[in-house]
A and B are shown apart, each in its own frame.
Chain A
Amino acid sequence: MAHPAEATSEHGPGVGHVVPIRTLLGVLAVLLVLTIATVAITLFDLGRMNIVVALAIAFVKGALVLLYFMHLRWDRPFNAIVLVSAILFVVLFIGFSLLDTFQYQPEVIPGYAPALEP
């Protein structure tokens, strides 16, 4: 809690930062719009950009949930560090595993490696 004193006086002890209901509803609206956008974008074939756009929208949605619904925006920076390092570990894990998979894929099925096709 970034403002323990404030939290205690306004909302009683043991209650953290409270996000105004308007903000929550606003974020919810944005999330719904982005969900519709995710579906709508599938109507257009963007080639290789399909996955990039879909993941970009998902990233924004995830960030909104973390920042507002999970209060990270008002939390101590330490919690943000924990989150970022957890994401780095996921990137490390998936990155190395995929790197390996792509590397040995041609050996597994000689001459047939759809994942590596341009």
Chain B
Amino acid sequence: MRTSETQLGAAGPAAAPGPSRGDDYLRHGTGIRSWLFTLDHKRIGILYLVSILSAFFLAGMFAVLVRTELLTPGKTIVDADTYNQFFTLHGAVMIFLFIIPGIPAALGNFVLPLMLGAKDVAFPRLNLMSWWLWVTGAVLSVASIVIGAVDTGWTFYTPYSTTTGQKGVVPIVLGVFILGFSSIFTGLNFIVTVHKLRPKGMTWFRMPLFLWAIYSTAVLQVLATPVLGITVALLAAERLMGLGIFDPALGGDPVLFQHFFWFYSHPAVYIMILPAMGVISEVIAVFSRKHIFGYRFIAMSSVAIAILSFLVWGHHMFTSMSPLANMLFSALTFSVSIPSAIKVFNWLATMYKGTIQLRTPMLYALAFIFLFTIGGLTGLFLGMLAVDVHLHDTYFVVAHFHYVMFGGTVMAFLAGLHYWWPKMTGRTFSEIGGQWGFWLVFCGFNLTFFIQFLMGSRGMPRRYYDYLPEQAIYHQISSVGSYLTAVGFFVVAGCLWRSLRQGAPAPANPWGGNSLEWWTPSPPPHDNFAETPVADDPYDYANWTYDPALGGYVRPPGRPA
């Protein structure tokens, strides 16, 4: 590692106690088959990580293309139809291929059994199948670009998606159908794993909060995703056979499609954000060196969010529903802000009088709290019926959900990625590189999206190819921001890539966490633990002291380590 960060990062060759490095999961088997057909949750986690990061890169490129087209009014680089395809693919790939599987399938797969002190998830083969389904779904979805890229928006609203000559609709919705099963399998696996494989000493209320979040997410995945499957299957059937469920010309109802779609897709928003909140609960406590505040409230608010998320789907349809349904959904929508706020207040209270260490994961976590709060509060504007009429389908909505999804989930994903990176790879990354990456992404993100609140409230509709000259300056600031964000991501990627090549070996516990994944060497051995650990309070950091020679935290002799 770099000399500039000798204080914490440079561990030297000293490794963690426990099994030798020779048997770590990365070296347990060699060859491409040992990866593609592995049943090891850690390797499947890595497979997922590589896959979703590829999807993230692809969708990110579409985002940059969209923003580049919007640099000037009228045509900048592509025609209007191609532009429509760009933003559709940006949305569809980001949502279905990156952000939904992002934290649960990649980080969750790696961390969940380790946090439980288990050898693996409950159903390792189902886990592998889930990844293969992801690959199949991804290939089908991306193949739709070749067959005839769709320009319906990621929501595939009818009757546009069923009556226009878009050849790609059927392959992409079949891809989404298959991706849904990938998600259901992951959820099912995690539910059973949390129920059945908790170690001695880990009662429900002594689970790390990340597990509560992943568990709540898994319930959502299992309950909500089948509805997405039904919806896209009906859409495909409607298109291929003219069923007439959603087509008014055949006696169908296009608003019914929106009900179907959002009954899944609103809970899906929480499939995206709940695991992110779980990551934040871990990172905030560890880097404040203080016990998490309000454990039960954070845990139960995850469950509350999961339940409430099923009651609010109508707020996506305020301009197409009846007044009665609008009133009900508007009122219900506000209820979700309660558990979300409970979490934010508890994180802040955790930091209060803590010994805050501004390491890279913590910076991302702080950014999460800041950006998620903006994203959440602007959601209240949109949940209010009178205001929503003005803001509906404007850039205000775009800014709002990017603050939640990017400012929230992606920031938390990056927090988790940096936090568990030493555990996953056995390498420490450059703190300076990590922080540069953070600041570039953070500034780029805000530059891109904050201006869109202004743009939207001044009437710039979303998805439009052209705009009035007075909107140009907003669009240009936003586009410059997107380039800065892209540069930031390349810095993040470069920093992590460099750590793989040149990073110093990571100690078992570089950050001083007390959940069970820090009790095993980095990277963990194939079987995770030499002997099954006994869990205690995951947020009790008192017994870990920093060892500068090791670059990580150790338990004083006499205690189990």
Contact = CB atoms under 8 A, between A and B. Distances in A.
B158 to A, nearest CB: 15
Given A86-B223, A93-B263, A96-B325, A104 B255 contact: yes
Nearest to A99: B325
A103 B255 contact: no
B180 interface: no
A101 interface: yes
Given A86-B223, A92-B310, A92-B311, A97 B259 contact: yes
A14 B453 CA distance: 58
A86 B322 CA distance: 26
A104 B321 contact: yes
Interface of A: 86, 89, 92-93, 96-97, 99-101, 103-104, 107
Contacts of A104: 255, 321-322
A107 B324 CA distance: 13
A79 to B, nearest CB: 12
B314 A100 contact: yes
A104 B325 CA distance: 9
Nearest to B195: A78
20 contacts: A86-B223, A89-B223, A89-B310, A92-B311, A96-B328, A97-B256, A97-B259, A97-B260, A97-B263, A99-B325, A100-B255, A100-B259, A100-B314, A100-B321, A100-B322, A100-B325, A101-B253, A104-B255, A104-B321, A107-B322
Interface in B310-337: 310-311, 314, 321-325, 328
Contact of A101 (B223, B255, B314, B328): B255
B374 interface: no
B314 A96 contact: yes
Contacts, number: 38
B359 to A, nearest CB: 41
Contacts of A100: 255, 259, 314, 321-322, 324-325
Interface in B287-327: 310-311, 314, 321-325
A104 B310 CA distance: 22
Interface SS, A side = helix
Interface in B231-290: 253, 255-256, 259-260, 263
A107 B319 CA distance: 13
B227 interface: yes
Contacts of B311: 92
Contacts of A86: 223
Contacts of B328: 96
Interface string B193-228: 000000000000000000000000000000100010
A101 B323 contact: no
A97 B260 CA distance: 8
A103 B256 contact: no
A86 B538 CA distance: 33
Contacts of A93: 227, 259, 263
B75 to A, nearest CB: 38
A89 B263 CA distance: 10
Nearest to A90: B227
Contacts of B227: 93
Contacts of A101: 253, 255-256
Nearest to B267: A89
A2 B256 CA distance: 42
B311 to A, nearest CB: 7
A103 B223 contact: no
